[in-house]
Structure 1
Amino acid sequence: MERKTFSACTSILVGRQATVDGSTMIARTEDAKTAWPKYFVVHPHQVLQAEPQFVSPDNGFTMTLPKIRGKYTATPEWTDKYGIFEESGINEYGVAMSATESAYANERVLGADPLVEKGIGEEAMVTITLPYIKSARAGVKYLGQLIEKYGASETNGVLFSDQSEVWYLEIATGHYWAAQRIPDNCYAVVANQLAIQNIDFNDPHNFLTAKGLKQFVLNNHLNSSRSNFNFREIFGTQDQSDTVYNTPRVWYGQRYFNPQSKQDPQSQQLPFVRQAERLIYREDLEYLLGSHYQGTVYDPLSRQNTALNHKFRPISLAKTQEAHILQLRPEYPAALSGLHWLALGVTAQSIFVPFYAGITQTPTSYQRGNATYSSDSAYWQFKLLGILVDAHYHLFGDSLAALQKEVRIQLNQNVRQTDQQAQNLSNKKLAEFLTQASLKNAAYVSQKINELTAELITTATALSPLDFKTDENL
């Protein structure tokens, strides 16, 4: 199966006044195939003699890029046969980007402005945008102008953040898009649907759109409302499949942050942005990205096997290739502020490893692996552990959970210590220090993963169906 199938991701965006420490956070699972490794790389700052040409290996989309490319982290595919799919990263200017949240537009709007076959798609989006933007708002405008000029080949949602603002951009049709700034004291959970609701065209501080969006809708008679301009209702889908595949994930996220609210998991009217009942920790995002409806009758891993266990598609599933939380912390310089938390493989069975934005290299194991298992690949190390747990989940699940807790505690301690020691460093010394600290974090996690893997393999030898007791007299 080719990688060109749509990714079925889940995204979370959190404003700075909604978090405990004043961080902005954007996060997402990348869900496409059960065995398709992701790499983690750093692209250095580059100044070229001439403007380079970008040519998509996916659909042939072509554009000229600027001569100056900023340094940025990225999580590309192990092969570019079906596209680059860099997906997520933080650049040297302190801007984070995650792309994309696959979505769908309805037949009416696509009939008026079809998608462009050789337009911009998910696989190219980070590569052609993140190295060239210096704020989240600038990222929205930059990518929006590219969509208007070259067209889009897919309907997608794109996440941007800096230390001050968080933005969600939705590309609906070939050339029309809209973006909303997440209010500082709010969060949003998005799951494979166009999500932005009422747009205020007189409020450019909080809303940005493609040129002529309002007139396009008016000219083509696309808005059924007499008073509002609801982007989701005009451009999106509201069919039965959404209520099984998409809206329950949004419901679960909102249920977690707003437990006092009673909502229907199949409702088509769940709000886009909400204010949580408490301040949000980074660990809350880790929990949600690895969630499978725990605490509800819809949990596929529940010991109570009922027809409801598999009614809804969970956030974490076997097709998750990686999940990331891009955290930008206040007051620190960009290199120290940004933490690219990366969990390779199935999020529920993985561990988020922190990499500072200022790093100059990534672990060798995070740059290895292909479609067949190999022990020198970090992706495959996480996948192997998950497969062992899957085979005997109710026996091995607690061991995995205990390891995840132990490692999270240690990583939090490591980040605190690194932050303190990095305060008086700058430029090259700071980059070297953050790189070594990040490499040590990855090595520590790899060691713990391998230790548990060895333990579970050893234990599993006694779980064979051929290991049975016989009559002692025989």
Structure 2
Amino acid sequence: MSCTTLLIGKDASYSGATIIARDDDTGSGRYDPKRFVAVHPDDQPRHYRSTLSHVEIELPDDPCRYTIAPNVLPNRGILAEAGASERNVAMSATETIAVNERVLAADPMVELRPAVGEPGDADYQPEQPGGIGEEDIITLVLPYVHTAREAVQRLGDLLEQYGTYEANGISISDVNEIWYVETIGGHHWIARRVPDDCYATVPNQLGIDDFDLADAAGEQRFYMGSADLREFIEENNLARAMKPAAAAGFAGTAASPDHFNPRTVFGTSTPKDHIYNTPRAWYMQRCLNPSEDWDSPAARYTPISDDIPWCRVPENKVTIEEVDYILSSHYQDTPYDPYGTLGTPETRHRYRPIGVNRTGHMVAVEIRADVPAAEASVMWVSFGSGPFTTVAPFFANVDDTPAYLRDTTKTPSTGNLYWDNRLIAVIADAHWFENYNAVEAYGERVRAFGHRHVAGTDAAFAKAFAADVSATDADVVRTLEDANAAMADYLQKQTAALLADVLYTSTNLMHNAFFMSDRWQ
């Protein structure tokens, strides 16, 4: 699927928390309704069979509870997409990327091959399952790990054993670290840790721009990857862009250096990227480092630059509001805004926006270090097209989620967050300027209430459980579920009010509108 990822290291975040956030955008030709659910250990499969690739995997018998934002329809598998576990490990899977033909020749994708003929025929060939993919990753990894590093290694082991049928990037975090994993061909992978004082931006393009083979094979402070990565590169002549040993800060020999740029070795760079991918990275970094020159003819980076850094230090610590703004953005204050007045009709539709009509949800998982572990993970959730909605916080360590987010219907209806926001977007879009103030005010109210609600829950939690040695896990979970229910109740009332507002405004602007007061007497 197409999507956009923003990762915020703990020293770069406003709260001292790690934050991983991602838009999940439905592919062309369909819309996938989304929901927000908790998965109990008893509901976790022990024998897993992928819907799309038919790969079958035996799973451990000790899963933990976790909360996810999957598809409603099961036709393409679970597609958990974003999740956080009771152990405070979070994942967002996946970011669809691309690897080049040389990689695919050396390590082909593991694709499902249907059976040929019938059993008993002389030329019968049984079905060959494919590898794992986006639909599987969170289900296979998140319930079984205790740290982000452990999750990276488990995912890497699964990729090496079963392979994958698609190129993807996966975000993984805990309270201390954020890791970003990219699949390389059918069975290889690389991972890089986001520096604590940095953010990382990833459109649908292989993003990691530096890799240290020595660290990956040794201490693994900032890099991990397939054990045979160096040999894979050398044996398949992939190293055309390796930096020479003489370059400052790079070790190794000219034939086998330790540092290299994965984008050039493994990735692609096409005119399509300059329409679909690089402009999104450019705009995200423009928002978080605004004092730099992004627009003049002398600008270091432009919307079509192929060398925009994967990560960098922001000018100010990044807030949830900025994450929400960026991942719902449409090139505001530039000639490329489809709702704007700058530029020309051509420039306003030149590049693929971040917040598009096809967005199913955006989830920002914040794992906090300054509260008890039981309430550390907060999932800031929005459903529908980003420019017309907003995030709201929900605690992840629960047995159940509010019906307003959980019980999304398969077909359009009101009374659930996904379809309410889809209806708001399609009504308000045609009359952007007339509806924008109402949408903006809705977002401000919900986010302000959300911050106040989280702080109030923290205070109540501390008062209730700090000295209560008899408190059980069930008591903690019930408290967090009550908090989520209150948040959902407020969100539902505000969303219903916004729907009524934009419906009234847009109805008055219909082409067949007529009022007696319009007629001159």
Q: Counterpart in 1 of 2:426?
A: 387
Equivalent pair of 1:38/1:322 in contact (CA under 8 Å):
yes
2:272 to 218, 224, 241: 241
Q: Counterpart in 1 of 2:372?
A: 333
User: Whole-Å Cα distance in 2 between the matches of residues 102 and 282 of structure 1?
Assistant: 24
1:75 to 69, 72, 80: 69
User: Whole-Å Cα distance in 2 between the matches of residues 456 and 280 of structure 1?
Assistant: 31
What aligned pairs does 1:140-219 form with structure 2 within 5 A after superposition? 140-203=152-215, 204-219=220-235
1:37 to 33, 52, 61: 33
Shift, 1:461, TM fit: 3.4
Shift, 1:365, TM fit: 2.8
Structure 1, residues 122-153: CA drift from partner, whole Å, max 9, x if none?
Answer: 01111111111110011100000000000011
SS in 1 for 2:440: helix
Structure 2 alignment gaps of length 5 or more: 112-129, 245-258, 294-300, 466-470
1:468 aligns with 2:484: no
Structure 1, residues 387-414: CA drift from partner, whole Å, max 9, x if none?
Answer: 2211221111111111111221111111
The alignment's TM-score, normalised by the length of structure 1, stands at 0.95
Aligned AA for 1:361?
D
1:96 aligns with 2:96: no
Structure 1, residues 299-318: CA drift from partner, whole Å, max 9, x if none?
Answer: 11103453210111111000
Q: Counterpart in 1 of 2:474?
A: 428
User: Whole-Å Cα distance in 2 between the matches of residues 421 and 291 of structure 1?
Assistant: 35
What aligned pairs does 1:252-331 form with structure 2 within 5 A after superposition? 252-262=283-293, 263-304=301-342, 305-331=344-370
Shift, 1:331, TM fit: 3.1
Shift, 1:473, TM fit: 8.8
1:358 aligns with 2:397: yes
User: Whole-Å Cα distance in 2 between the matches of residues 9 and 461 of structure 1?
Assistant: 32
Equivalent pair of 2:241/2:264 in contact (CA under 8 Å):
no
Structure 1 alignment gaps of length 5 or more: 1-6
Shift, 1:260, TM fit: 2.7
Q: Counterpart in 2 of 1:439?
A: 485
2:79 to 76, 85, 105: 85
SS in 2 for 1:202: helix
Shift, 1:366, TM fit: 2.0
Answer with 219-228 or 81-90: which moved more. 219-228
2:236 to 210, 217, 220: 220
Shift, 1:371, TM fit: 4.5
Structure 1, residues 94-122: CA drift from partner, whole Å, max 9, x if none?
Answer: 10000000000111110110010110100
Aligned AA for 2:230?
K
Kindly tell me the number of residue pairs found equivalent between the two proteins: 466
Equivalent pair of 1:52/1:67 in contact (CA under 8 Å):
yes
Equivalent pair of 1:334/1:358 in contact (CA under 8 Å):
no
What aligned pairs does 1:392-431 form with structure 2 within 5 A after superposition? 392-423=431-462, 424-425=464-465, 426=471, 427-431=473-477
User: Whole-Å Cα distance in 2 between the matches of residues 327 and 473 of structure 1?
Assistant: 58
Structure 1, residues 64-97: CA drift from partner, whole Å, max 9, x if none?
Answer: 1111111000111111112211101110111000
Aligned AA for 2:224?
L
User: Whole-Å Cα distance in 2 between the matches of residues 186 and 174 of structure 1?
Assistant: 30
User: Whole-Å Cα distance in 2 between the matches of residues 122 and 129 of structure 1?
Assistant: 12
SS in 2 for 1:405: helix
User: Whole-Å Cα distance in 1 between the matches of residues 520 and 451 of structure 2?
Assistant: 57
User: Whole-Å Cα distance in 2 between the matches of residues 208 and 381 of structure 1?
Assistant: 42
Identity of aligned residues (%): 36
The alignment's TM-score, normalised by the length of structure 2, stands at 0.86
Answer with 183-192 or 375-384: which moved more. 375-384
1:15 to 9, 24, 34: 9
